[in-house]
A and B are shown apart, each in its own frame.
Chain A
Amino acid sequence: MMDYWPWWAGALALATITVLYHELIGRRFGVSSSWERVVHWKIEKAAEEMDAQVLADKAGFEAALREATMAEFGAPEGGDLLTAAPPQTAAKPAQQSAKLPLTASATLLSMILVGSFVAAVMNGRFQLRADMGPDFADIVVNGPLMWPTLFVGGVMVGIGTRMAGGCSSGHGMSGCSRLHPVSLLATSVFFGTAVAVSLLLWKVI
């Protein structure tokens, strides 16, 4: 069995992935948002098709926006927004869509599986098994209680990452390295909680 990578090799790999992903794809690298979209496949697919339709019909889109704006705020003097003076503030440049195509999110998740399988075979750790290994049995729970424990842990991760708006890749790697306040806050809280719970599991339970 091959040793795990030394810390600097892992650090370099994670940093390269985070920065290159942002440079080449133009979005924040975050796994939980891809998860979220794949989990809501039907809704996201419909939303994506609607976006594509709306954006394909630019004139119709603008007309609808104009109509909705006038309905909300009333027509400006001069009758129509088109003939009214343009706003003084310069429009912000259009941002690239924050989302990947839905199928690309699925590609990301499936390729994590492929990559980790290759790693496990290479370092000699691949072993098909029906438990989570001796450490999990020692530290967390042994026997059939493993199933509800994993499920509840998963639910907590699912709710928590979406409520906090990111996970260890989105907030931890991408956000902290750019010193985003929300990411620094979220990362210190989730890491601190994980430390507290892990100490409890190790020493007490």
Chain B
Amino acid sequence: MIEKYRIHLLVGFFGAALGFSLGMIGFGDFGELNRMFTFQDLRMFFTFAGGVAAAAIGFFVFTKDRPAGARIHRGVVPGAVLFGAGWAISGGCPSIPIVQLGTGYTPALVTMAGIAVGMRSYRLMNAKYFHFDSGACSV
């Protein structure tokens, strides 16, 4: 029984830590986000870049295995373009609408509905037309 809840406790802790940190950093604040992307204020840019650099050091020090990343397929670039544009417009990344909602911005629910519709339609479109294979397999 304990074992069953352990994963929830762990994952829940990380979710809360992420939501708290994003809120304290200001990623849920659309003005801050736009000032980062337009280089008017580099604080959050350094937060992101510094976070990547610190995580790189952390992985280098603590982790022995070096799992490979996913495959590069033809969908990566157009997908990233769509995501980047959507992020700039709605501020959703996609944990940010949750953070916006937690800060009291109720219209973020509409962004979240959009994300849900987008993900569902992507899975259908990918199965029918694109057939992109990220090389990830769960079994």
Q: Which residues of A contact B (CB under 8 A)?
A: 4-25, 28-29, 31-32, 35-36, 39-40, 51, 97-101, 103-105, 107-120, 122-123, 125-136, 139-140, 146-147, 149-169, 172-183, 185-187, 189-199, 201-202
Contacts of B125 in A (CB 8 A): 159
- The 8 A CB mask of B95-139 against A (1 = contact, 0 = none) is 101111111111110111111111111110110001010101111
Q: Given A154-B110, A154-B114, do A140 and B89 touch, yes or no (CB 8 Å)?
A: yes
- Write the chain A residue with the least CB distance to B40: A202
Q: How far is the CA of A191 from the CA of B83 in the complex (A)?
A: 9
Report which of A11, A28, A98, A150 forms a contact with B90, defined as CB distance below 8 A.
Answer: A150
- Write the chain B residue with the least CB distance to A161: B83
CB atoms of B89 and A162 under 8 A apart? no
CB atoms of A130 and B106 under 8 A apart? yes
CB atoms of B24 and A189 under 8 A apart? no
26 A-B pairs with C-beta separation under 8 A: A7-B43, A25-B10, A32-B94, A111-B12, A115-B16, A115-B21, A115-B23, A116-B19, A116-B101, A120-B28, A120-B104, A128-B106, A130-B106, A149-B89, A150-B107, A151-B113, A157-B83, A159-B118, A160-B84, A162-B79, A177-B52, A180-B68, A180-B70, A181-B69, A190-B80, A190-B87
- The 8 A CB mask of B54-77 against A (1 = contact, 0 = none) is 111111001100111111100111
CB atoms of A111 and B16 under 8 A apart? yes
Contacts of A12 in B (CB 8 A): 50-51, 54
Contacts of B14 in A (CB 8 A): 17, 20-21, 25, 29, 108, 111
- Write the chain A residue with the least CB distance to B28: A116
CB atoms of A194 and B50 under 8 A apart? no
Shortest CB distance B21–A (Å)? 4
Shortest CB distance B85–A (Å)? 5
Q: How far is the CA of A128 from the CA of B104 in the complex (A)?
A: 4
Contacts of B123 in A (CB 8 A): 36, 40, 162
Q: Which residues of B contact A (CB under 8 A)?
A: 7-8, 10-26, 28-34, 37-39, 42-44, 46-59, 62-63, 66-72, 75-95, 97-108, 110-123, 125-126, 130, 132, 134, 136-139
Q: Given A25-B10, A168-B93, A169-B95, do A113 and B110 touch, yes or no (CB 8 Å)?
A: no
CB atoms of B12 and A107 under 8 A apart? yes
Shortest CB distance A56–B (Å)? 14
Contacts of B98 in A (CB 8 A): 109, 112-113, 116
Q: How far is the CA of A113 from the CA of B95 in the complex (A)?
A: 9
CB atoms of A194 and B87 under 8 A apart? yes
